[in-house]
Amino acid sequence: FSDPFINRRRAHDFIQADTRLEAISQERIRERNKAPQERQREICEDYYPCEMYAFRHGYAAAYRHYFGRRRTK
């Protein structure tokens, strides 16, 4: 019978250091290449009226409402 819990000092021994560094670099790459929906949501979050509209109708509808069609007046 072995103890099901890992010793606190050895908790990260099973993760290889290079694997951790690779995972961090992959996350940085994903942050640079954002999906269009994520960019639109961030733009909407930065504009308060758009964010309030999004709480009721969703971010896709709010982005279309405030930024989808460019007004030329």
pLDDT digits (tens, 9 = 90+) for 18-64: 667 788 888 888 777 888 898 899 999 999 999 999 999 999 999 99
* pLDDT, average across residues 9-26: 73
Instruction: Specify the pLDDT at position 30.
Output: 76
Q: Where are the alpha helices (DSSP H) in the chain?
A: 17-32, 36-46, 48-57, 59-63
Query: What is d(CA 60, CA 56) in angstroms, rounded to the nearest whole number?
Result: 11
Reported confidence tier of residue 1, pLDDT bands at 50, 70, 90? low
Amino acid at 45: E
Query: What is d(CA 69, CA 16) in angstroms, rounded to the nearest whole number?
Result: 50
pTM metric for this prediction? 0.53
Reported confidence tier of residue 17, pLDDT bands at 50, 70, 90? low
Q: Where are the domains of the chain?
A: 10-68
